[in-house]
Amino acid sequence: MKCKSLAAVALAALSISCGKSQAGRNGADTGAEADVQPQPAAEVSFDADSAYAYVARQVEFGPRVPGSTAHRQCGEWLASELRRHGAEVTVQEATLTAFDGTQLPARNIIGSFNPQAAERILLLAHWDTRPWADNDPDRTNHSKPVPGADDGASGTGVLLEIARQLSLSDNKPGVDILFTDAEDYGTDGDDESWALGTRYFVQNRPEGVTYRGAILLDMVGGKNAQFRREYFSQQYAPQLVDAVWAAAGMAGEGALFSNELGGAITDDHVELIKGGIPAIDIITFDPANGFPPYWHTVNDDMSNISAKTLGSVGRVMMTYLNNI
């Protein structure tokens, strides 16, 4: 049984679960809410420990600063992992010019599942890491690179585990997983200096593909993460925000996905929105306190990463994918 669209479900009581295990129940299909009991969280498959290992593996390469050996090696590994999970892999290579004139050898890595499907969902995360820990309280760290456990590796790790889950599924949706490069080489006050890889992707997107939506995962592994409705997402792709937040309710993760409005974050999704693709950003950002304290510091390492958070985000994404 396939469910109604998540947007429709969002309007109904969030306790109505419509996972495959609910097939044949009344309530989800008829809209008769009165006799529907609270349901356990929808059953989806996602291995949080596997996602955690994927994050740790990236951090082990060292900071993935464009031009570095760690960056080159990690890029090779990401493409090979997608291939191992049965994706059709395309690598976009480009030399991108940073705000300071540095020439960045960039690679966007795309893994397509069920490539025949014309209508597709784009799932993305940046895999590069910032060359400067310029938010570190210790100024002497400002010239050091960020380890990028949360800022980079977390979203990428969740998407690798989603790729593994899709490889095991016999009913794959049309999904493109995009690892974007050169997101984090930007400078404060210059919005155009960020998300260079995604801008390149939008200008060189696969032909004949329509994306019904794009979901960006950025900093989705923190121990104290909280995902609010990011401003640009809510403004330009409200139905997709509703659908993912409804999936969070169905997955029993309503507490992690808050209905509060988050800040306006210049991130990869903004480039997609500018290119006409409805895109949202799942990102931990507290309007009162900003990004987590380790953000753009040398402390963005595995000590701040929670398998539980990775698992929650992964289950929400799988719930969303199972219901499109």
184 binds Zn ion (CB under 5 A): yes
Strands 257-261 and 227-229: parallel
The secondary structure of 228-246 as a DSSP string is: EE-HHHHHH-HHHHHHHHH
Residue 146 in contact with ligand AHN, rule: CB under 6 A: no
Instruction: By CB under 6 A, name the one of 184, 230, 242, 253 that touches ligand AHN.
Output: 184
> With b meaning 16 or more CB within 10 Å and e meaning fewer, what string describes 17-34?
bbbeebeebebbeeeeee
Q: Is 267 in the site for ligand AHN (CB under 6 A)?
A: yes
Nearest residue (CB) to ligand AHN, 220 versus 240: 220
Report d(CA 107, CA 92) in Å as an integer: 5
The stretch among 66-74, 132-140, 158-166, 260-268 that binds ligand AHN (CB under 6 A) is: 260-268
Q: HEC states along 118-147? A: CEEEEEEEECCCCCCCCCCCCHHHCCCCCC
Q: In this chain, which residue has its C-beta nearest to ligand AHN?
A: 266
- Going by C-alpha positions, the residue among 320, 69, 78 that lies closest to residue 179 is 78
Point out which span in 13-21, 51-59, 97-105, 263-271 binds ligand AHN (CB under 6 A).
263-271
**Which range, of 36-44, 94-102, 261-269, 272-280, touches ligand AHN by CB under 6 A?**
261-269
Please, what is the minimum distance in Å from the beta carbon of residue 184 to ligand AHN? Answer: 5
- Nearest CB to ligand AHN, comparing residues 136 and 151: 151
Work out whether 150 is an interface residue with ligand AHN (CB under 6 A): no
Using only C-alpha atoms, what is the Rg of the chain? 19
Opening angle at CA 242, ends 237 and 247, nearest 5: 130
Q: Look at residue 230 and give the partner it binds from Zn ion, ligand AHN, none, a contact being a CB closer than 5 to 8 Å depending on partner kind.
A: none
Q: Does 230 bind ligand AHN (CB under 6 A)?
A: no
Q: Does 127 bind ligand AHN (CB under 6 A)?
A: no
Which phi and psi (to 5°) does residue 204 adopt?
A: -130, 40
Distance CA 179, CA 218 (A): 11
- 282 near ligand AHN, judged by CB under 6 A: no
CA–CA gap between residue 108 and residue 298 (Å, rounded): 25
Shortest CB 265 distance to ligand AHN, Å: 5
Q: 194 touches which of Zn ion, ligand AHN, none (CB within 5 to 8 A by kind)? A: ligand AHN
Asked if residues 290 and 226 have their Cβ atoms less than 8 Å apart, the reply is no
8 A C-beta contact, residue 166 and residue 113: yes
Going 282 to 287 to 291 to 293, the CA torsion angle's sign is negative
Taking CB under 6 A as the binding criterion, the range among 30-38, 93-101, 202-210, 265-273 that sits at the site for ligand AHN is 265-273
Interface with ligand AHN includes 300 (CB under 6 A)? no
271 binds ligand AHN (CB under 6 A): no
Decide if residue 266 touches ligand AHN (CB under 6 A): yes
CA distance 279 to 211: 10
Tokens of 1: 């049984």
Q: For residue 66, which amino acid is it?
A: P
Complex with Zn ion: residue 152 or 311, whichever CB lies closer: 152
CB of 299 to ligand AHN, least distance (A): 15
Residue 129 or 319: the one with the smaller Cβ distance to ligand AHN is: 129
- Which of 194, 236, 245, 257 binds ligand AHN (CB under 6 A)? It is 194
Verify binding: residue 242, Zn ion, rule CB under 5 A: no
**Which residues bind to Zn ion, rule: CB under 5 A?**
130, 151, 184
